[in-house]
């Protein structure tokens, strides 16, 4: 009986930006007041095979899409943006929103999952992973 071995490639790109938010729905002291975070976002793309050029995903495509997304949030107050309407702008929600947006924009037939890991400071982060269908 042949053994089943799982192989996976991962490519990651990282960017940083500053944005503001304030938490709602609970008593979190200073977190309830508008404040800034120096966010660091890392996007990890996964797949089990490479394309004809030896790439999992074109890194220029990843960088272009991530930079456009970061530019959208840079120096903004998350609470004021429509994608956060009715949501507490936690790093968990923010990681999901970033991941789902990138999953819509990045196209690669080799891609099986995207993970966004989002730090709001040096010690705290949240991550969200989305499986994606193979597509061009």
pLDDT at residue 93 is higher than 60: yes
Output the pLDDT for position 1.
47
* CB within 8 Å of 32: residues ≥ 6 apart: 22, 23, 24, 26
> What CATH class has 9-131?
alpha beta
pLDDT at residue 135 is higher than 60: no
Q: Is 43 exposed, middle or buried (0-12, 13-18, 19+ CB in 10 A)?
A: buried
Q: What pLDDT, in 10s, does the model give residues 38-87? A: 999 999 999 999 999 999 999 999 999 999 999 999 999 999 999 999 99
Domain ranges of the chain: 9-131
Q: Which of 27-31, 80-84, 115-119 has the lowest mean pLDDT?
A: 27-31
Confidence of residue 6 (pLDDT cuts 50, 70, 90): confident
pLDDT at residue 119 is higher than 80: yes
Output the pLDDT for position 86.
93
Which one has a higher pLDDT value, 25 or 82?
82
On whether the CB atoms of residues 13 and 63 are closer than 8 A, the answer is: yes
Q: What is the mean pLDDT of the chain?
A: 92
Token couple for 100: 């789902």
The whole-number average pLDDT for the span 16-44 is 95
């Amino acid at each position: 009986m042949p053994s089943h071995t799982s192989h996976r490639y991962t490519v990651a790109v990282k960017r940083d930006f500053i944005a503001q938010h304030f938490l709602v729905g609970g008593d979190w002291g200073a977190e309830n007041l508008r404040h800034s975070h120096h966010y660091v976002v890392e996007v990890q793309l996964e797949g089990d095979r490479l394309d004809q050029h030896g790439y999992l995903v074109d890194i220029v495509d990843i960088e272009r899409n991530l930079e456009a997304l970061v530019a959208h949030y840079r120096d903004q107050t998350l609470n004021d943006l429509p994608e956060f309407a009715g949501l507490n702008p936690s790093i968990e929600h923010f990681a999901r929103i970033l991941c789902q947006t990138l999953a819509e924009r990045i196209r690669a037939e080799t891609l099986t999952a995207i993970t966004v890991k989002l730090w709001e400071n040096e010690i705290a982060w949240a991550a969200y992973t989305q499986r994606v269908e193979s597509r061009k």
